[in-house]
Structure 1
Amino acid sequence: MPRYIWLLVIATTISVTGGSFLWPLNTIYMHNELGKSLAFAGFILMFNQGANIVGNLVGGILFDKFSAYKTILLGTFLSTGSSILLTFNHESIFAYSICLLLIGLGSGITWPVMFAMAGSVWPEGGRRAFNAIYVAQNLGVALGATIGGFVASISFDYIFMANAALFFVFTLMVVFAFKGMDEERNRQMHTSVIEQSGKIKDKSKFTALIILSIGFFVAWFAYSQWQSTIASYTQDIGVPLEQYSSLWAINGFLIVLGQPVLKLFTDRITSPRTHIYVGSVIFLGSYLIAMFAEQFTMFAVGMVILTIAEMLIWPAIPTLANALAPQGRAGFYQGFVNSIAAAGRMLGPFIGGLVVDFFNIQVLFFGLIVLLFIPFFTTKLYDRGIVDSEQVMEKEA
């Protein structure tokens, strides 16, 4: 892999490790420590992800039109400053909410640049470039979740301190290691968004991106329940906090250690479309198991199945988005799909919390299983309106 891919991988691991001390425990902290309802906790997380959506769109546009380095620097400073502030102001729900909002905005600005840079500096890498960032994210999830549960069982105060410390390390790396980012990027991708926006082909491809993203939204909506309503449910039925956090350690380490096996599959079946089909079938299985789970072991089995599914689906979407993107719009397209993921994470905890508060967790599971058939249709139909779809499919493979 190129040098800048390795830098992106290392930076991603550090950043996500820091964030993973906190995000799996947000709902639990607000519900159990601050005494708020699940719906209220979901409402706060909705604002966090709403800010993330805004950040994703802003970050993608700034990448396309201005500077990759200055854009990622802006997002990093916002996230780190807010994390430090949260360390000293997490006992007030108002301060907690404001800090989460700013962290969401900063992270949102950062991630489109990370993904767009991966596609820019290693265009011949195809899926491998985006998979490298994805694996780094999940290594960070594994490390953060493994340590985070045990730290939280001692004191939540240490969780906020660890989160801020690693964000600070990430900031230092961005400041000193990413200075040459603008010179390394593919200059052909740095054309004006305005110049591209009037092209009919671009509009048809953007329509395809929207259709594809509907299925992506549904998948993230369902996935976010493991971080919110299912998290709280495990506590209600007596699963210890350390064991719940270890579910995310299983998730992260399986993604990292399972790459050789995954490569055997993706080398033989190269179409990202097929990866989404197969992953969606497996995805459904994880919720069927979680629906009947009453002990940690069954939740662990459900998490393993969920992880196999996301290993196929999550890198496939930015790969298809990169294939669809005209010159000069790679950052915007990556920002768009990242914002769709954030929208799923935004509405998932809130709506899921409402369903559980007014009905029960089983009603939520039934609803999720029905919704998870939607990605099959959106993946099948997304590129029907593209005149040169054969060329796109050749590029995505």
Structure 2
Amino acid sequence: MPKQVWLLIIGTLINTIGNSFLWPLNSIYIHDHLGKSLTVAGVVLMLNSLAGVFGNLVGGFLFDKLGGYKAILIGVVLNLGSISLLTFWHDWPQYVIFLAMLGFSGGIVYPALYAIAGSAWPEGGRKAFNSIFLANNVGVAIGPALAGIIADFQFEYVFYANLTFYALFLILVVTAFKRFDTNQVTTKSIANEARDREKGPILAIAILSISLIICWLSYSQWSATISSYTQGLGMSLSQYSLLWTINGFLIVAVQPIIKPLITRWEKKIKHQLVLGLVLMSASFGVVYFAQDFKMFVAAMVILTFGEVFFTPVIPLIANKLAPQGQQGFYQGLVNSASTVGRMIGPVLGGFMVDMYGMQVLMLFLAIFILVAIIPCLVYDRALKDA
């Protein structure tokens, strides 16, 4: 594995630990501490994700125009400024404004991280993107676990912890990422250069994005409606945060278990996508019946297995489809689609819970996420027809 990828792994880990101090607790803070309904909380999270959509597109554009280092540096500086404001002013309505700013700045970073990974280690294939995925989820395991403990002690300190890790990430970017020269790391084949003039790749990404929106619309319920639902069942913040710790560490732990199947399906990308979505659907079926911590753990375990098959394949597809010089743009597109799902999810979920209850929402999601299989099966027809 190239040194650049190792630096990306470390940077992703630090950034995600900081970020995951706050995002799993946003809905709880808005609902329980600021006294707003789940629907209002959903709208706030929607604005955060909407800002993230624009951030993703800007991040991809900056990568293609300025290179990976400058793109990430701009995102991290804006991130640090946003979280600084949020740390000292997090009452209503300042919370809404600064959280949206944080969504935009955070959105800039991730397309550049994935684009650098694909450029720095093209021969790595799925491994390059899976390494970033794993680092991200180890951060998700550590951050919420610490956040739950801190929040149970004093919620205010969660903001300070978030700020500290963003500052550490900025230091790493300034001292180590400056050596990146992503514009000259790889070259595309003649076949790919010929494809630059075709509309097939962009149409294929558009079709695949339908699956991403549905998937992350559903997934976002774990940090939106399900988080508050667990509180209503008597679970503590530390128990809820532990679910994310299980998710993060399990993603790493299952790699040796799934490796034989991943190797066998290395060129069968659709198999990985479909299996991932089926497992995610099953996890919401378990939540439908869940009434205690053990059932939520079971649901999270199933969700995690679905995630490890589905998620790392998406940036790999984007990298393969991207014409020369547009890797950042294509990574920005798939990240934006995922963020659109996270934007719609809390609003839709909050509305359905307020109107119909959690069980209706879970049944709807278990069925709806299966619909996402269809675009996964047909997205590449756009390439054949182009």
What band does the TM-score fall into relative to the shorter chain?
Answer: over 0.9
2:234 maps to: 238
> 2:178 aligns to what SS in structure 1?
coil
CA deviation vs aligned residue, 1:275-299 (integer Å, no higher than 9, x gap): 0111111111101100000000000
Flag the 1:198–1:81 CA change in 2: closer, same or farther, 3 A. farther
Structure 1 position 374 matched with structure 2 position 371:
yes
> 2:36 aligns to what SS in structure 1?
coil
Structure 1 position 251 matched with structure 2 position 250:
no
CA deviation vs aligned residue, 1:62-113 (integer Å, no higher than 9, x gap): 11122221111110001111112211111x1221111111111111111100
Deviation at 1:387, TM superposition (A): 2.9
1:30 maps to: 30
Structure 1 position 66 matched with structure 2 position 62:
no
CA distance in structure 1 between the aligned counterparts of 2:193 and 2:320, rounded to whole angstroms = 17
Contact 2:217–2:341 (CA<8 Å) still a contact in 1?
Answer: yes
Flag the 1:180–1:211 CA change in 2: closer, same or farther, 3 A. same
CA deviation vs aligned residue, 1:137-165 (integer Å, no higher than 9, x gap): 00000010111111100011110000000
2:46 maps to: 46
Q: Which runs of 5+ in 1 are unaligned?
A: 190-195, 390-397
Structure 1 position 261 matched with structure 2 position 257:
yes
Structure 1 position 296 matched with structure 2 position 272:
no
CA distance in structure 2 between the aligned counterparts of 1:141 and 1:200, rounded to whole angstroms = 37
Contact 1:54–1:105 (CA<8 Å) still a contact in 2?
Answer: yes
Paired residue for 1:204, among 194, 197, 200?
A: 200
Equivalent runs, 1:1-397 vs 2, <5 Å? 1-90=1-90, 92-182=91-181, 185-186=184-185, 188=187, 202-270=198-266, 271-387=268-384
Contact 1:273–1:316 (CA<8 Å) still a contact in 2?
Answer: no
- State TM-score, norm by structure 1: 0.93
CA distance in structure 2 between the aligned counterparts of 1:245 and 1:187, rounded to whole angstroms = 40
CA deviation vs aligned residue, 1:144-199 (integer Å, no higher than 9, x gap): 0111111100011110000000000001101111111126752647xxxxxx9997
- Structure 2 letter corresponding to 1:264: P
Contact 1:279–1:309 (CA<8 Å) still a contact in 2?
Answer: yes
Contact 1:15–1:170 (CA<8 Å) still a contact in 2?
Answer: yes
CA distance in structure 1 between the aligned counterparts of 2:253 and 2:228, rounded to whole angstroms = 28
Contact 1:122–1:129 (CA<8 Å) still a contact in 2?
Answer: yes
Contact 1:52–1:104 (CA<8 Å) still a contact in 2?
Answer: yes
Q: How many residues align?
A: 382
Contact 2:68–2:181 (CA<8 Å) still a contact in 1?
Answer: yes
Contact 1:201–1:386 (CA<8 Å) still a contact in 2?
Answer: no
Moved over 4 A (4+): 196-201
Q: Over the residues paired in the alignment, what is the CA RMSD in angstroms?
A: 1.8
Contact 1:77–1:171 (CA<8 Å) still a contact in 2?
Answer: yes
Deviation at 1:262, TM superposition (A): 2.2
CA distance in structure 2 between the aligned counterparts of 1:199 and 1:216, rounded to whole angstroms = 24
Contact 2:274–2:373 (CA<8 Å) still a contact in 1?
Answer: yes
CA distance in structure 2 between the aligned counterparts of 1:199 and 1:5, rounded to whole angstroms = 27
- Structure 1 letter corresponding to 2:117: A
CA distance in structure 1 between the aligned counterparts of 2:310 and 2:184, rounded to whole angstroms = 26
CA deviation vs aligned residue, 1:304-346 (integer Å, no higher than 9, x gap): 0000000110001111111111111111110000011111111
- Structure 1 letter corresponding to 2:295: M
Deviation at 1:358, TM superposition (A): 1.5
CA deviation vs aligned residue, 1:13-61 (integer Å, no higher than 9, x gap): 0000011111000000010011011011110111111111001001101
> 1:239 aligns to what SS in structure 2?
coil
CA deviation vs aligned residue, 1:214-260 (integer Å, no higher than 9, x gap): 01110100000011001111111111111111000000010112221
Query: 179-188 vs 71-80, which deviates more?
Result: 179-188
CA distance in structure 2 between the aligned counterparts of 1:277 and 1:96, rounded to whole angstroms = 38
Contact 2:281–2:367 (CA<8 Å) still a contact in 1?
Answer: no
1:394 maps to: none
CA deviation vs aligned residue, 1:338-375 (integer Å, no higher than 9, x gap): 01111111110111101111221112112212211222
Q: Which runs of 5+ in 2 are unaligned?
A: none
Contact 2:193–2:324 (CA<8 Å) still a contact in 1?
Answer: no
- Structure 2 letter corresponding to 1:36: K
Contact 2:67–2:182 (CA<8 Å) still a contact in 1?
Answer: no
CA distance in structure 2 between the aligned counterparts of 1:185 and 1:313, rounded to whole angstroms = 30
> 2:384 aligns to what SS in structure 1?
coil
CA distance in structure 2 between the aligned counterparts of 1:58 and 1:366, rounded to whole angstroms = 36
Deviation at 1:202, TM superposition (A): 3.5
- State TM-score, norm by structure 2: 0.96
1:393 maps to: none
- Structure 2 letter corresponding to 1:253: F
- Structure 2 letter corresponding to 1:286: S
CA distance in structure 2 between the aligned counterparts of 1:185 and 1:30, rounded to whole angstroms = 45
